[in-house]
Amino acid sequence: WWNDSYHETMLCFTNNIPQRDGGTHLSAFRASLTRVMGGYIEAAGAAKKEKVSVSGEDAREGLTCVLSVKVPDPKFSSQTKDKLVSSEVRPAVEGLCSEGLSTWFEEHPVEAKAVVAKIIEAAAAREAARKARDLTRRKTAMEISSLPGKLADCQERDPAKSELFIVEGDSAGGSAKQARNRENQAVLPLRGKILNVERARFDRMLSSELIGTLILALGTGIGRDDFNADKLRYHKIILMADADVDGAHIRTLLLTFFYRQMPELIERGHVYIAQPPLYKVSKGKQSRYLKDQADMDAYLIEEGSSDAELDLPSGERRTGLDLQSLVREAKAFKAGVDRLSQRAPAFAIEQSALAGLFAEDSGDPEKAAARLNLFAEEGDGAWSGAPGAQGAVAFERVRRAVTERIVLEEALIRSQDARRLAERAAAFEGLFDTPAVYRRKDKSTTIRGPLDLLDAVLDAGKKGIAIQRYKGLGEMNPEQLWETTLDVNARTLLQVNVEHEEEASDLFAKLMGDVVEPRREFIQENALDAAVDA
């Protein structure tokens, strides 16, 4: 049967033994399919009308077939039985398939018309791709220099010593060209987003100017018959995109291109992802680059914990590494609170978790209400807590003659996120039954829970430092770009590898393909795990 994909899927068996390389039964099936389809299309006059020549390859595009034969004494090309060579199989398979296909086309004219339309479309695309490939072949490696404003090539001619930086945007490309080591670092700026090759036919992909420029720069050619990884001009292809949502999208489009069209480059370990920093922090005359928000938080926690102390109600004092460890626990705890904070106020989620309200045996609503009163200001009424309808818990108080009410629904209390938050809360058991005090450099802050502690330490960590956030690579001057991304001795690169072929292919098809439903399901399942940089 045929589908909307562009790939042929053939599974061949002899006496239930799979043949990876096909054999005479596969050759017979293909011959009969080509003959029957060719005759049907010629009778309909479709090929002449569209002015295309149809081949067997066109007829098999998007075809999925399981071909199984029973043979009394089969002969194979080797002991692994990967290829059937029994000659007597061919006429039998060819005759049966021809008869069956002819009958099916006669009995299903509507479906046959759709199949013919797909085959004609495939033939037209193949012809367009051939013309585009012919144009690409005429470009030689010497013509790379005729790409002014695009590729800034390097002097090194040994691919093993050469690097190509594929940079997002002209502004970043300009800085990269100035900052690079001209001896062995080439820069190719890509303006805009490249085509999503997961959704595009081969001919349309080759007609894309951005992809054409990329293919020329790499020097490998493209396509089943023309790609040659040995002709790669740079053995390090480094994707350099901004550390924001658009940058991530461009990086994903490039990875889709390499995975679908040049997988051998990934297999050989030639594709890398640059890790440009998101922040620069300066303290006095010293500067430091930080890759992302997680690195930034870790730096601020380290700064805010140095020369600081946390006096707990029990009389215990936390300082140094002990304090840092507790703040990191608070950061993980806050991530759990954030997941639930769209359904109730963050302070109510925090204090309910500390009171044991989300534990399996459930806590006392009044105990949780008592913790909420830690946040009460002078003149505020006291919070009271009680079980609500359908397993909910309700907190209520009167503040300035207005009744305030917070309801935690049963679905929230019994959710998996609430259970995980309860496990995190165990790290703070007994620490904040009454307010603690955080002290640093003659300044004291009242701490009523993990969120207060995290905020106080992060705020203290920011004192005396200048923070610069880079929205894009284009905001960096050449010196900064060299220090962070281009310098071999200082930069961080991620090598792209495929450990699980089927999972990777499925993920690209799901996230970058035409079908919306699997992508929607994936987003819904993983939305809470996403770290969104606002």
Q: Which residues are catalytic?
A: 168, 242, 244, 246
Sheet of 393-399: strand order equals: 384-387, 393-399, 402-408
Decide: helix, strand or coil at residue 386: strand
Structure token pair of residue 73: 């004494």
- 375 Cβ contact list (under 8 Å, min separation 6): 347, 351, 448
Residue type, 2: W
186: phi then psi, degrees, rounded to nearest 5: -105, 150
Tokens 């292919």 belong to 505
Cα diameter, the chain: 97
For 83, 177, 466, the CA distances from 15, given in Å and listed in that order, are 13, 61, 73
Give the side-chain half-sphere CA count within 13 A for 304: 27
Assign 196 to helix, strand or coil: coil
Exposed, middle or buried: residue 204 (CB in 10 Å: 0-12, 13-18, 19+)?
A: middle
Q: What is the DSSP letter of 441?
A: T
DSSP state of 482: I
Task: State residue 192 phi and psi, 5-degree precision.
Answer: 90, -170
CA 432 to chain centre: 40
Element (H, E) at 335: helix 320-340
- According to DSSP, the β-strands at 466-469 and 279-283 are antiparallel
Is there a contact between 397 and 404 (Cβ–Cβ < 8 Å)? yes
Q: Is 363 in a helix, a strand, or coil? A: coil
With the CA atoms of 146, 262, 237 and 469 taken in that order, what torsion angle do they form, in degrees rounded to the nearest 10?
Answer: 100
What is the SS3 assignment for 489-534? CCCCEEECCCCCHHHHHHHHHHHHCCCHHHHHHHHHHHHHHCCCCC
DSSP-assigned beta bridge partners for residue 274: 493
* Chain centre to alpha carbon of residue 505: 12
Read off the tokens for 124. 């037209």
